[in-house]
Structure 1
Amino acid sequence: MQASNDIRARLLDTAEALFDRHGFTATGMDRLTSAAGISSRTLYKHVGSKNALMGAVLQARDRRFRRRVDVASVDALFAALETWFSQEGARGCLFLRTWRETGGDVPEIAEAMSRHKGFMQEKIGELVAAEIGRRDDDLVDEILVLFEGMVHAYTYRGEAVAIAARRAVRTLVSAAKAPEPTTG
């Protein structure tokens, strides 16, 4: 059983690296089996299909990302994203890139993307409520847009975009914490 788990883990790691670097469509099964050092029969035994493999890759990436963003503040969320880029690379969101590349028509990919993006909205909502003491769906949407923008703009602007995004998010959170002006 351990050998089977090792093969699956190696396959997922290899597939993620190839899909992330070359895209879903450009990464053929021959390339995957060669890079993972397994036969096509073994690949299909462990994942069933290329779509199922991509779904499994996205699930594993989502679990890893959720651990990375297990933080207590909005600023820490953006710092965690910077750390993710330094360790994982910055090529934009694999979920969105794969979803767009497949036209949103592959259920395994669409479901993984939907779960991941839903989690991010919930996570930001929890952090906002903890920081400002109340729900604020507009602020959550604004921060989510900054977060998504940072994911993509970091690919070509690097650290400068992280600095700008963190400055903007601090401004938004501070403004939301400020007491409402009283009229008299």
Structure 2
Amino acid sequence: MDIDTRLLETAERLFDHEGFNATGMGRLVRESGLSSRTVYKHVTGKNALMAKVLTERQRRFFAQLETQNTRALFASLRRWTEREGARGCLFFRVRAETGGQTPEIEAVVGAYHERLYALIMDLVARETGAADEVLADQILALFEGATAAATYRGTTVIEAAAACAEQLLARAAR
């Protein structure tokens, strides 16, 4: 495993399980098995490392996200949550921890949310025959709500959100 991969995997695990603010660079150095000199050679600090972690997580998430229809969208969310763990959205959690005040992190978080919304807008237009921002917001709320609710209800709650989304889209398509 190369240095970047080792550093990013360690950082993502710690940030995801323990939080951004609670994870210090010293711990990242120890758990990655890299020297602090090597770590700082690859990232300028914790904010830059978090931005890199989020960029890689975003790449992986969207690579597996299926958007050909509503059922596929929610099924891919369920698979992701079962594989990665039901801890809620890391992008939301990091934004909450930083208050949206860390530019390099906020840029990645904003790009993630914009891309997710655009994909859902496209899905809505394909399934109903028309663009509908309100309906896209409803589907987005179900998607993000299912992500959060899975933390305490389990991944089966994603199925309930999918069924609700399908009903909304079917009603709009009439």
TM-score norm. by structure 2 comes to 0.97
What is the aligned partner in structure 2 of residue 57 from structure 1? 53
Query: Comparing both chains, which one has the higher relative contact order based on Cα–Cα distances under 8 Å and sequence gaps of 6 or more?
Result: 2
Computing the radius of gyration over CA atoms, which structure comes out larger, 1 or 2?
1
Does residue 33 (structure 1) correspond to residue 5 (structure 2)? The answer is: no
Q: 1:93-139, CA deviations, whole angstroms, 9 ceiling, x for partnerless residues?
A: 11110111011111111111100000110000111111111111111
Deviation at 1:30, TM superposition (A): 1.2
- C-alpha RMSD over aligned residues: 1.1
What is the aligned partner in structure 2 of residue 127 from structure 1? 123
Q: 2:77 aligned to 78, 81, 85, which one?
A: 81
SS class of match (1:151)? helix
What is the aligned partner in structure 1 of residue 43 from structure 2? 47
What is the aligned partner in structure 2 of residue 170 from structure 1? 166
Q: 1:136 aligned to 128, 132, 157, which one?
A: 132
Q: 1:157 aligned to 153, 159, 165, which one?
A: 153
Does residue 94 (structure 1) correspond to residue 100 (structure 2)? The answer is: no
Output the amino acid matched with 2:173.
K
Deviation at 1:166, TM superposition (A): 1.1
SS class of match (2:79)? helix
CA distance in 1, matches of 2:121, 2:67: 13
Output the amino acid matched with 1:54.
M
CA distance in 2, matches of 1:20, 1:174: 36
Kept after mapping to 1: 8 A contact 2:21/2:97:
yes
CA distance in 2, matches of 1:19, 1:148: 20
TM-score norm. by structure 1 comes to 0.92
Unmatched 5+ stretches in structure 2: none
CA distance in 1, matches of 2:123, 2:95: 27
Unmatched 5+ stretches in structure 1: 179-184
Structure 1 segments (4+ residues) deviating >6 Å: none
Q: 1:66 aligned to 50, 62, 67, which one?
A: 62
